[in-house]
Amino acid sequence: MTATEPDLAALMTAVRDRQDRAAFAALFRHFAPRIKGFLIKSGTEAALAEECAQDVMATLWHKAHLYDPARAGVATWVFTIARNRRIDLARRDRRPEPEDLLWMQDGTEPDQAELFEAAEENRRLAQALADLPEKQRALVQRAFWGERSHSELAAETGLPLGTIKSRLRLALDRLRTRMS
Amino acid sequence: MAHYPITHHLTDDLLMSYAAGTLPEAFALVAASHVSLCDECRARLGAYEALGGAVLDTEAEAMTDDALERGLAACLSRLDRPAPVQRPAMRQGPLPGPLADWIGGGLETVRWRPLGMGVRQAILPTSRRATARLLHIPAGVAVPDHGHRGTELTLVLQGAFRDETARFGPGDVEVAGQELDHQPVAEPGVDCICLAATDAPLRFNALLPRLLQPLFRI
Q: Do B55 and A165 touch (CB under 8 A)?
A: no
**A9 has a chain B CB within 8 A of its CB:** no
The domain that contains B167 carries what CATH number? 2.60.120.10
Instruction: For residue B35, tell me if it sits in a domain.
Output: no
Contact B27, B153 (CB under 8 A): yes
Contact A120, A112 (CB under 8 A): no
Q: Do B98 and A29 touch (CB under 8 A)?
A: no
Residue B178 has pLDDT above 80, yes or no: no
Q: How many domains does chain B have?
A: 1
**A92 has a chain B CB within 8 A of its CB:** yes
Instruction: For residue B163, tell me if it sits in a domain.
Output: yes
B83 vs A62, A96, A125: nearest CB: A62
Instruction: For residue B69, tell me if it sits in a domain.
Output: no
Nearest-5° angle of CA B65, CA B70, CA B72? Answer: 95
Beta strand B131-137 with B192-198: parallel, antiparallel or unpaired?
antiparallel
Task: Indicate the pLDDT class of residue B134, thresholds 50, 70 and 90.
Answer: very high
Highest average pLDDT, of A71-85, B147-161, B197-211, comes from: A71-85
- Over pLDDT 90: what percentage of chain B? 65
**A118 has a chain B CB within 8 A of its CB:** no
Q: Do B61 and A34 touch (CB under 8 A)?
A: yes
CA torsion angle A48 A51 A55 A56 (round to 10) = 70
Q: State the ipTM, two decimals.
A: 0.91
Name chain B contacts of A59, Cβ cutoff 8 Å.
83
Return the minimum-mean-pLDDT range out of A82-96, B74-88, B191-205.
B191-205
**A70 has a chain B CB within 8 A of its CB:** no
Residue ranges per structural domain of chain A: 1-92+111-131, 132-180
Q: A34-50 pLDDT, tens per residue?
A: 999 999 999 899 999 99
A32 vs B35, B54, B63: nearest CB: B63
Residue A23 has pLDDT above 90, yes or no: yes
Residue that wins the pLDDT comparison between B147 and B186: B186
B60 vs A34, A96, A101: nearest CB: A34
pLDDT at B199: 86
Quick check: helix, strand or coil at residue B84? coil
Residue B109 sits in which domain range? 105-216
Instruction: For residue B145, tell me if it sits in a domain.
Output: yes
Name chain A contacts of B64, Cβ cutoff 8 Å.
none
> What span, in angstroms and rounded, lies between the C-alpha atoms of A175 and A132?
8
**Fold category of A1-92+111-131 in CATH:** Rna Polymerase Sigma Factor; Chain: A (1.10.1740)
Which chain B residue's Cα is nearest to A101? B36
Instruction: For residue B181, tell me if it sits in a domain.
Output: yes
Helix axes B39-58, A134-145, angle to 10 degrees: 110
pLDDT at B212: 55
Q: B154-177 pLDDT, tens per residue?
A: 999 999 999 888 999 999 999 988
**A86 has a chain B CB within 8 A of its CB:** yes
Residue that wins the pLDDT comparison between A66 and A4: A66
Residue A106 has pLDDT above 90, yes or no: no
pLDDT at B156: 97
The CA-atom distances, in angstroms, between A124 and each of A5, A128, A129 are: 11, 6, 9
Q: Do A172 and B71 touch (CB under 8 A)?
A: no
Average pLDDT across chain A, whole number: 87
> What span, in angstroms and rounded, lies between the C-alpha atoms of A142 and A151?
10
